[in-house]
Amino acid sequence: MFTVIGERINMTRKKIRDGVWNGNIAFIQNEASKQAKAGATHIDINAGGDPSKEVEDMRWLTRVVSEAIELPLVFDSANPLALAEGLKICPRPGTIINSVTGEKKRLTEILPLVKKYKTGVVALTMDDRGIPEDYEGRMRVARELVKVIEAEGISRDRIYLDPLVRPASTNPGQSRFVLEVIKDIRKQFPHIHITLGLSNISFGLPVRNNLNKVFLAMLVAAGCDGAVIDPTEAGMMNTLFSSRAALGLDEYGMDYIKAYRESRLK
């Protein structure tokens, strides 16, 4: 199974921020429903429009989104108070916290919530020294994160390692070693999930959809089994179903065929 985390309900986007602050329930619920219909397995909610209001906004978003869809949510925040409020309201099976890092403060604040609510957790490959700029650094942080998280009694199948791809426009060539990191994480930790924010690759470039789709196919081939994406983006789910079928990850192309029969392939 590929974890498709729908990214659209993010209050750093002006339309979403305005929708929340104007109390536009129908608009926000439509954003959630569209992603669910397009094939999302989880809906990400980010209430970071204003740090001083994040807890209140997370509370509102969680209620509104959870009423519209039955999918598990991904609570996207570095604020443990905001995460706790969302989890109290909607602790569905399959819920994920996005995210922890190797930074001691983040681990101390957020792993107790992962344990209490038995969620999955996205773990970003950065630590108190920042984001490593090479393959060896990313792998070092990945191994340390797995060790620390496992030591807290959190099983590997609840860990979603994120190797942190950066924009091709500002970090040319870094995606190549990120793909190598993904391949080696898959070899060393076969039961751990690997996911990342797909659209980071295209930031700052025109016609971003082209890069997003191509890179998604590369990620699937490297061993990624999840991504934070916009499933409503033109051709995005086509690329995902096609990549998995071509690589034999979708046995006999059954998911591809099902999507076709449900008119989800275009």
Q: Length of the chain in residues, anyone?
A: 266
Domain ranges of the chain: 3-261
Going by the DSSP 8-state scheme, the letter that residue 203 receives in this structure is: T
Provide the pairing of β-strand 96-100 with 226-229. unpaired
CA–CA separation, 239 and 214 (whole Å):
8
pLDDT confidence of residue 264: 83
Average pLDDT, the chain: 96
In this predicted structure, the answer to whether residue 24 has a pLDDT above a threshold of 80 is yes
Q: What are phi and psi of 46, to 5 degrees?
A: -120, 120
Per-residue pLDDT tens for 28-54? 999 999 999 999 999 999 999 999 999
In this predicted structure, the answer to whether residue 137 has a pLDDT above a threshold of 80 is yes
**196: CB partners within 8 A, 6+ apart:** 162, 163, 164, 165, 178, 219, 224, 227, 228
Q: Decide: residue 24, CB within 10 A, 0-12 exposed, 13-18 middle, 19+ buried.
A: middle
pLDDT confidence of residue 125: 97
Position 15 confidence tier, pLDDT thresholds 50, 70, 90: very high
Domain 3-261, CATH: 3.20.20.20
| Cβ-contact 259, 265 below 8 angstroms | yes
pLDDT confidence of residue 163: 96
